[in-house]
Amino acid sequence: MLHILYIIAITAEAMTAALAAGRRQMDWVGVIIIACVTALGGGTLRNIILGHYPMTWIEHPEYILITAGASIGAALLASMMKKLKLMFLWLDALGLVVFTIIGCRLAMDLQMPMLIIVLSGIITGCGGGVLRDILCNDIPLLFRKEVYATASLFTGLVYIGIMQLGYGTHAAAIIAAVLGFILRLLAIRYKWQMPKFVYNEKEEF
Closest approach, Cβ 27 to its own copies, in A, equals 4
Judged by CB under 8 A, which of 44, 67, 100, 124 binds its own copies?
Answer: 44
Query: Is the Cβ of residue 56 or residue 174 nearer to its own copies in the bound state?
Result: 56
Is 31 a binder of its own copies (CB under 8 A)? yes
Report d(CA 144, CA 193) in Å as an integer: 9
Residues 94-113 that bind its own copies (CB under 8 A): 112-113
Judged by CB under 8 A, which of 11, 16, 67, 124 binds its own copies?
Answer: 16
Contact at 8 Å (CB) between 178 and 154?
no
Closest approach, Cβ 78 to its own copies, in A, equals 5
Report d(CA 6, CA 178) in Å as an integer: 15
Q: How many residues does the chain have?
A: 205
Is 197 a binder of its own copies (CB under 8 A)? yes
Report d(CA 18, CA 72) in Å as an integer: 8
Phi, psi of 55 (to 5 degrees): -60, 150
Distance between start and end Cα atoms, the chain: 50
Report d(CA 116, CA 118) in Å as an integer: 5
Residues 161-190 that bind its own copies (CB under 8 A): none
Judged by CB under 8 A, which of 26, 102, 106, 108 binds its own copies?
Answer: 26
Name the one range near its own copies by CB under 8 A: 46-54, 158-166, 168-176, 179-187.
46-54
Is 8 a binder of its own copies (CB under 8 A)? no
Report d(CA 141, CA 63) in Å as an integer: 25
Query: Is the Cβ of residue 7 or residue 112 nearer to its own copies in the bound state?
Result: 112
Residues 134-153 that bind its own copies (CB under 8 A): 134-145, 148-150
Residues 75-94 that bind its own copies (CB under 8 A): 75, 78, 82, 85, 88-89, 92
Judged by CB under 8 A, which of 2, 7, 55, 185 binds its own copies?
Answer: 55
Is 21 a binder of its own copies (CB under 8 A)? yes
* 45-82 burial: b if 16+ Cβ within 10 Å, else e: bbbeebebeeebbeeeeebbebbbebbbebbeeeeebe
